[in-house]
Amino acid sequence: MNQAENNINQFLSEDRIILDLSTTSRKRLFEHIAQVSSGNLDKISEDCVFKTITERERLGSTGLGKGIAVPHGRIESLEQPVISIIRLKQPIDYDAPDGRPVWLVVGLLVPAEANETHLKLLSMLASCFQDSNFVEALKSCQTPDQVSELFEGVKR
């Protein structure tokens, strides 16, 4: 699968971008990710998405540090990657490696057999979040369209 050669936006739609969500815990956050990510997907339920990212999180925190997390997982019946972006109104505790609360969460789901694509997308996202200008631009986005435009330039 060579899809990650293109850009993040081919797996992200504006209906999967939520800005300034109020939530109080990782569990509630994962419920939101499941709801947003499973919308418009045949054969993939919210429960399946929730279970997938929760099980992955049990292996270790998907917090990257600097207030950003990328909960992710593989789903057997998924046909192509799905990315969702949630910016929180108030940061929440996430057990991140640097101990900082999380304000930005990128949910990443990939087909079960898409190992290379999974790693490439994780790498691309991590590279974005190492760029302080990109992160600051993301903080100031007012609409899902602006977030989408920002990620449009992310290619590998």
Per-residue pLDDT tens for 85-139? 999 999 999 989 999 999 999 999 999 998 898 999 999 999 999 999 999 999 9
* 10 inside domain: no
> Active-site residue among 16, 26, 32, 72?
72
* 84 inside domain: yes
> CA angle, 11 as apex, 83 and 6 as ends, to 5°?
125
* 4 inside domain: no
Split into its structural domains, the chain has a count of 1
* 26 inside domain: yes
Residue 95 buriedness (CB in 10 A; 0-12 / 13-18 / 19+): middle
Q: Going by C-beta distance under 8 Å and a sequence separation of 6 or more, which residues neighbour residue 83? A: 8, 11, 12, 16, 106, 107, 108, 109, 121
- Check if 72 is active-site: yes
- CATH number of domain containing 79: 3.40.930.10
* 8 inside domain: no
Entry pTM? 0.90
* 85 inside domain: yes
Distance of CA 20 to the CA centre of its chain: 15
* 3 inside domain: no
Please state the rounded mean pLDDT for residues 132-153. Answer: 92
Task: Give the structural domain span for 91.
Answer: 16-152
